[in-house]
Chains A and B, each alone.
Chain A
Amino acid sequence: MDGIMRILTDPYYIQVLTLTGIYLIAALGLHLITGVTGQFSFGHAGFMSIGAYTAALLTLHLHTPLILNLLVGGLAAGFAGILLGFPSLKLTGDYLGITTLGFAEIVRVVFINMKITGGTQGLAGIPKETSLLLVIVVAVLSVWCMYRIQNSRFGRALMAIREDDIAAEAMGINTLIYKVKAFAVGTFFAGVSGGLYAHLMQYLNPFDFGVTRSFDLLNFVVLGGLGSIPGTILGTTVLTMAPEFLRFVNKYRMLIYSALMVIMMIFRPNGLLGGVHLKDLRRAFTRRRSTEMASQ
């Protein structure tokens, strides 16, 4: 107990936990796009940066409240998602991956060359308004939203597209519109996450949202277990915290991290919690409780 208290009051651990929460929100967005709908996006960090810059600029220039800035940042990212989605979601698989990868690079280069974003110098002086509590609240809200989306008529249509898009279309699903909607919602979450990130770091640099960040997010989702919310949570937590807790073997940190991933791929090719769903966990929990009640 004492140890936990120490962790919760140590600024370093708080920072790591807050970052984990922020990445989780972005990862949940990608979970909807890749895990649920089956569309590969290699440019999720690009949408995060759109949300981050939008929210930061609003705070710096218009001094609007944080919640509003986060929402607008999310909407801006979602809007970009729709703009990219309509032409490119007609593509599938690798082609879509390349397009999203290219898009994120374009966003990065645009931010480097714009004056208002501070160019290569980055954007500094953003007030620190993100707290661990706020991130936890937003993350819990995101999980709740994702759970509801996945277990609905809307979510079933997305999963149908992932499983077999021709059959989905034959069942009356307008696959293009549904893919674009999933993309819009997923990138909205990335935008919100970016806004929180901006107000935590107080400084934004386009290089923070490069290809590596996009692939990190994809790793969280894939290694956690595609299509599983608990998997996304676990994947994000393990893969965000592992590099931090491996600092004591500083030199070999990335080596161990990579080895960890290879081992996971060998032993859990479907991800840590592939095929495990919140619905099943809830059902298992209520069943156990009812057997406990019966035995009393």
Chain B
Amino acid sequence: MPALLELDNITISFGGLTALNRVSLRVEEGKINSLIGPNGAGKSTIFNVITGIYTPTYGRVIFQGEDITREKPYLITARGIARTFQNIRLFKNLTVLDNVKIGCHSSSRAGLFGAVTRLGWVKREEREITARAQRALEIVGLASKGDELAKNLPYGEQRRLEIARALAASPRLLLLDEPAAGMNPQEKQTLMEMVQRIREMNITIMLVEHDMSFVMNLSDHVDVLNYGEKIAGGTPAEIRQNPRVIEAYLGNEIE
């Protein structure tokens, strides 16, 4: 079966620093795929390459069989890849509902003319957007907070709002960049259930996360990066046994 997303020999350097070196990996449809590695290993860089924020120096990104390596970020979103950000990037001064409505952008089409005339189809589309945004908020448990400003939400809810905003784009592939960062164990538990529910909606998930129990409990497949190179890939059980992974995280034994 062809993979939903495939990275083929991705290499990217910033000046003299090679952030990713010949990284190849496959994201299988319908699975939860995780990316782990020590700080600075290049995990977020991979997300930025996939979503078109960075263009790789070498290598290709294939999504649903098509090369999207040099495509603009907004077009990649329209193809069905949505993401959250490691350092929360909400539209702070807009309401929670408006944040999620903006997530519906690429699947709606009313423009300037529609805004001024508010023809029948524009109103219909707007109602549809509102309904879809509301459903996305329900999935992450924020349905009652639609009218609040995003900046007034507590931290954990801001992280969930980012997920709702990405879900509103109706993605095939959802990239979550450290969704559990800064959450307490209880919030992490809720988040884990949420991610599983999203997978059941037939959305493939790619996850960057530092919390090992979170990753190991949730993932179907784990890839490990260290210093910009992929050092291992496999099921959580295989990764846990892999000597190179243990070495990357805990260091070498002194001979």
Name A's B-contacting residues (CB within 8 A). 145, 148-149, 152-157, 159-160, 163-164, 166-175, 181, 185, 227, 275
Q: Tell me whether B126 and A172 are in contact (CB under 8 A).
A: no
Cβ contact of B90, chosen from A167, A169, A185, cutoff 8 A: A167
Q: Tell me whether B116 and A148 are in contact (CB under 8 A).
A: yes
A-B contact pairs, 15 of them (CB 8 A): A153-B101, A153-B105, A154-B110, A156-B101, A156-B102, A157-B102, A159-B94, A163-B91, A163-B93, A167-B89, A170-B53, A171-B102, A173-B102, A174-B72, A275-B93
Cβ contact of A166, chosen from B53, B111, B118, B165, cutoff 8 A: B53
With A and B bound together, what is the CA distance between A154 and B165 in angstroms?
17
Q: Tell me whether B111 and A154 are in contact (CB under 8 A).
A: yes
With A and B bound together, what is the CA distance between A275 and B93 in angstroms?
9
Name the residue among A157, A159, A160, A163 with the largest chain B CB count within 10 angstroms: A163
Stretch at the interface among B27-35, B38-46, B73-81: B73-81
Chain B: interface size category: 35 or more
B179 part of interface (Cβ distance < 8 Å): no
Residues of B within 8 A of A166 (CB): 53, 89
Interface string of B96-107 (1 = CB under 8 A from A): 001001110110
B176 part of interface (Cβ distance < 8 Å): no
Q: Which residue of A lies closest to B93 (CB)?
A: A163
With A and B bound together, what is the CA distance between A160 and B115 in angstroms?
16
Q: Tell me whether A153 and B74 are in contact (CB under 8 A).
A: no
7 smallest A-B Cβ distances: which pairs? A172-B106, A152-B115, A172-B77, A163-B91, A167-B89, A154-B115, A169-B73
Cβ contact of B51, chosen from A156, A170, A275, cutoff 8 A: A170
Residues of B within 8 A of A154 (CB): 110-112, 114-115
Instruction: Report B157 CB to chain A, min CB distance, Å.
Output: 17
With A and B bound together, what is the CA distance between A275 and B83 in angstroms?
29
B214 part of interface (Cβ distance < 8 Å): no
Q: Tell me whether A163 and B92 are in contact (CB under 8 A).
A: yes
Q: Which residue of A lies closest to B73 (CB)?
A: A169
Instruction: Report A57 CB to chain B, min CB distance, Å.
Output: 28
Cβ contact of B91, chosen from A167, A175, A181, A185, cutoff 8 A: A167
Given A163-B93, A171-B106: A153 in contact with B85 (beta carbons within 8 A): no
Name the residue among A172, A174, A175, A185 with the largest chain B CB count within 10 angstroms: A172
Instruction: Report B47 CB to chain A, min CB distance, Å.
Output: 10
Residues of B within 8 A of A157 (CB): 102, 105
Cβ contact of A171, chosen from B53, B129, B165, cutoff 8 A: B165
Name B's A-contacting residues (CB within 8 A). 51, 53, 72-74, 77-78, 82-83, 85, 89-94, 98, 101-103, 105-106, 108, 110-112, 114-116, 118, 122, 125-126, 129, 165, 169
Q: Tell me whether A175 and B74 are in contact (CB under 8 A).
A: yes
Q: Tell me whether A153 and B94 are in contact (CB under 8 A).
A: no
Q: Tell me whether B116 and A149 are in contact (CB under 8 A).
A: yes
Residues of A within 8 A of B92 (CB): 163-164
Q: Tell me whether B115 and A171 are in contact (CB under 8 A).
A: no
Q: Tell me whether A171 and B105 are in contact (CB under 8 A).
A: yes
With A and B bound together, what is the CA distance between A164 and B92 in angstroms?
9
Q: Tell me whether A169 and B74 are in contact (CB under 8 A).
A: yes
Cβ contact of B115, chosen from A149, A169, A170, A172, cutoff 8 A: A149
Residues of B within 8 A of A227 (CB): 93
Instruction: Report B163 CB to chain A, min CB distance, Å.
Output: 13
Given A160-B102, A168-B102, A170-B83: A155 in contact with B115 (beta carbons within 8 A): yes
Q: Tell me whether A148 and B115 are in contact (CB under 8 A).
A: yes
Residues of B within 8 A of A159 (CB): 91, 94, 98
Cβ contact of B126, chosen from A152, A169, A171, cutoff 8 A: A152
Residues of B within 8 A of A185 (CB): 112
With A and B bound together, what is the CA distance between A172 and B51 in angstroms?
11
Instruction: Report A80 CB to chain B, min CB distance, Å.
Output: 18
Q: Tell me whether B126 and A153 are in contact (CB under 8 A).
A: yes
Residues of B within 8 A of A145 (CB): 116
Q: Which residue of B lies closest to A226 (CB)?
A: B93
Can you add 19 more A-B contacts, CB < 8 Å, to A149-B116, A163-B94, A166-B53?
Answer: A149-B112, A152-B126, A153-B101, A153-B125, A154-B110, A155-B115, A156-B94, A159-B91, A159-B98, A160-B105, A163-B92, A164-B90, A168-B102, A171-B105, A171-B106, A172-B74, A185-B112, A227-B93, A275-B93
With A and B bound together, what is the CA distance between A12 and B101 in angstroms?
48
With A and B bound together, what is the CA distance between A159 and B115 in angstroms?
14
